[in-house]
Structure 1
């Protein structure tokens, strides 16, 4: 190994890579958490050290010079090596104190995780939880999260997945909607009812049609990519929606439809990176969530959610 040839500062190389990928000094400074002058000095220092120009200005934007283009793949390789080093080091950490990021859908993050996080924190007060609420699949290989709750099995060899259980989902509607539009008694009745969607309409309709529910795009009167928004529409009486039973049971202002028909079923996977599986605190959180989600958790209703008996008036 020629150690004399390895002399330039990684921070300067990282500043160059971020600028090349983000397209400007200001954008690169934001993603790296630096000031723009600091980032500019780091790029200039790398240029001075290598004796080349890496960027040229074209109008208001930056363009890589031919040498900058040649250098880019090498610096990307360095970044990947640094990422793997960080990942391996995190995986070997034996302290249970520190941050663990959990990725989950917006609905699961809002309705199911808070109670579990409270229980986990009482057991392990040194663990700090960050929740990434997103309906998109987080990239665990790029450290967007440490642990993910998913409904699809990952197919990458770097990821470890455990099938926790099958979750159930059913049709739900608010009493207001049922009072105004009537209660559907069979799946065939759904053809004349309004639906609220919060996934791609085509995917939702295809799944419902294959399940014997004769609805079309005309039935979907409103939808939202945000599950919490769509669920609130259902609770406000705009239409009928499909919801995980674990979540809907925590909402006393909706009623389950078709109680005699089996619910829709879908898997719940718990996923982490194989390197992080050796981290003590991540392993603690992973095992805790696996155990907590094995069975539907009993609903803890607030006092305001419980029905009250009215005392008859004296005559």
Structure 2
């Protein structure tokens, strides 16, 4: 998919400048790897010739030099990555929609992740980044990468060990649905709760008197379970056309999505293992396919507004 690099001279100039910086960083990393390798070689040679002092000195000098170089380049790496997201990804977004912006150090606030009701497990560790926002015709939308985890503790001979488990890793998409819902309506993958076993059953959030809504679309009911405390509103939202659109959208994803309608917003969680919008270190920025993956995911999110027909304002906000 064309990400607009070939027709953007200003972006080419930015990429050429950043490529110089990338090569410097890559060479520094390569040197540190060589130094760490030499450190091990010195130690092995020292032991083989039964001169451990020489081996230790060689190991220490090489390892310390490598560590110092690695830490010194740290600030340059942060600046390079930030410049890439702001100037390269930010510029490429304009080829999809002029309104699109990226804020690398922002994301989806944890309170909004919780209030989406897409997940019933409380997170003990929450990370988010790369907030992208914009408008598609009449509809405002935004999305960000999210990694939420919970922890369990197990006893060992040496004390307690903390184990981290992923609740969700991927992208959470939010759109203005132009309707102030009276209650929450949540659509989750079938079998969602069983994945957490007994721990899950003890750590659920309470959302009031929520019922499972039986819907007429058999394919939809085979794929999802719908929860709401208002049958009428849930059916008003999940029209036959909307259910078909959600099924079509889900069919384009590798893993089953989750959807919720809360207050005046629609939330969609896309489980993804890939980390998007990251600057390459060991491959060239001048690769014509550099932004193809990032461009595809943003275009996909942008087109959800049309996929789900969110610009058709069948309601007004009350």
- TM-score exceeds 0.5: no
TM superposition score normalised by structure 2? 0.29
TM superposition score normalised by structure 1? 0.29
Larger Rg: 1
